[in-house]
Structure 1
Amino acid sequence: MRTVVISGASSGIGEATAARFHRAGDHVVNLDVRPPRPGSAVRWVPADVADWSATEQALADVHQERGRIDVVIANAGISVRHGVLDISEADARRVCDVNLLGVLGLWRAAARHMVRQGEGVLLATASVNGLRGYPFYADYNATKAGVVALCRTFALELSPHIRTACVSPGAVLTPMQEAEYTGDMLDEVNRRIPAGRHAAPEEIADAFFYLASPEARFLTGQELVIDGGETAGATTSAFGTATPSREPVMS
């Protein structure tokens, strides 16, 4: 039984990923500022990934209890839909603290345990937003590009014993997506995806499960894009032109 730690697993992609590993018999720990939905079989540890000391303590507690940490998935993320002229310093710093520095802090803390045990897998949720320019998400886009850079750097420094990889989803029908987009905006996005639809969170979860498996043992420092062909044509998706909302939402 592996010990798997996932940040931001109380909803969306994280919740689906936690459920996927749990079904396989793994011991899964959810680090999230919010509690999971009632009935969740996954252990919840309240933690804000922007707080490195809290993250380190949470992982230390898990390691002391379980004796090892096999897989860590840095999934926690937030976004605020706003134009570049309207971004506030507070919003931008919070997005960076959670989406980028939160990954770095969690991976750093996990890697210290994995180096001592001689093996481990570090995974993270990036985004196709880090590959292309998408309006209204400048700070979010920059953090996701940064996650890919972290993935490559950790792979170079920690191979061969520790593997790293990130998944870059395109449009996924999560609570975060539904909170930011109207029905018409979701339809517009679907028309720009060759597959004709958003991904389900479970499809991203399956990718994480594969990346953590022995079948992916020669894969490290890589970005796996799962977008239904959205970026295949090298076109920029505007994701609608509606006036941006400044309300922050959690993944």
Structure 2
Amino acid sequence: MRTVIVSGASSGIGEATAQRFAQAGDRVVNLDVKPPSEAGGPVRWIQVDVADWEGVRAAVDEVRAQYGALDVVIANAGISVRHGVLDITEADARRVVDVNLLGVLALWRHAAAHMVAQGHGVLLATASVNGLRGYPFYADYNATKAAIAALARTFALELSPNVRVACVSPGAVLTPMQRAEYTDEMLEETNRNIPAGRHASPQEIAEFFHFLADPRAAFVTGQEFVVDGGETAGATTAVFGTAGATR
């Protein structure tokens, strides 16, 4: 039985990922500022804001002390604010960076110390296709997702061969965060720009995380994996009229 931490696992991709590992028999801990849904099942919840480095350190240390190992740690927690570049406020931008980028760095940094000491581990994170090219209305969000890929490469170089590191960059995923910011018309416009013709489900992204954590992926490290239904493959990703994109 592996010990798995997933941040931001109270909804969306994080919840689906936590459930996927739990269903496989792993011991899973959710680090999230908000409580999980009733579907939380066997996943343990520790309330922590990933922007709080000391809180993250304490939570990681607690899990390691209680269960004796940290096998897989997935930094998934993220937020977005839909705004044009001329409307971005300092408060919004700092919060997006604190959660999406520094929250990943905090979780990986503290988990990595235990993984190096025990001689093994897998660090994963949720990035986004928004970090691969420009998308309107999410400049700060896009920048944090691009930075996660850089973190993955650097952590992999420093921690190999015992600790593997990778990130997943989903395209459009039908999560509560997406539904909260998009009208039905915006969702349909996004679908028209995806060769697969639809959004992914959170469970499809969870399956890819589960694969990356598996020994079958033992030669994989330092990479960013795009799971987007072909969205970034070519010209169909021309700038959207009103929809923009968020993951």
Matches within 5 A, 1:6-45: 6-41=6-41, 42-45=43-46
SS of the residue corresponding to residue 6 of structure 1 reads strand
Match of residue 154 from structure 1: 155
Unpaired runs of at least 5, structure 1? none
**1:59-82 deviation per Cα after TM superposition (whole angstroms, max 9, x unaligned):** 000011000000000000000000
Q: Map residues 128-167 of structure 1 onto 2, 5 A cutoff.
A: 128-167=129-168
Deviations 1:129-180 (A, max 9, x none): 0001000000000000000000000000000000000000000000000111
Aligned counterpart, 1:69: 70
Could you tell me the TM-score, scaled by structure 2's length?
0.97
Question: Equivalent residues in 2 for 1:180-195 (5 A)?
Answer: 180-195=181-196
1:120 aligns with 2:121: yes
TM-score, normalised on structure 1? 0.95
The 2-side partners of 1:5 and 1:177 are apart by 24
After superposition, give the CA deviation of every residue in 1:186-244 in whole Å (9 maximum; x if it has no partner): 000000000000000000000000000001000000011000000001554434426x9
C-alpha distance in 2 between matches for 1:74 and 1:182 = 28
Q: Which secondary structure state, in structure 2, belongs to the residue aligned with residue 106 of structure 1? A: helix
Match of 1:101, SS?
A: helix
Aligned-partner Cα distance in 2 for 1:166–1:62: 22
Q: Which has the higher contact order (CA 8 A, sep 6+)?
A: 1
Q: Could you tell me which residue of structure 2 aligns to residue 170 of structure 1?
A: 171
Q: What corresponds to 1:54 in structure 2?
A: 55
Name the amino acid aligned to 1:55: V
Q: How many equivalent pairs are there?
A: 245
Letter in 1 for 2:31: L
Calculate percent identity across the aligned residue pairs.
73
Q: Is the CA contact 2:193–2:236 (under 8 Å) kept in the aligned structure 1?
A: no
Query: Which SS does the other structure have where 1:97 is aligned?
Result: helix
2:115 is the alignment partner of 1:106: no
Contact 1:185–1:240 (CA<8 Å) still a contact in 2?
no
Q: Which runs of 4+ in 1 moved over 4 A?
A: none
- Does the CA contact (< 8 Å) of 1:185 and 1:239 recur in 2? no
Q: Equivalent residue of 1:78, what SS? A: coil
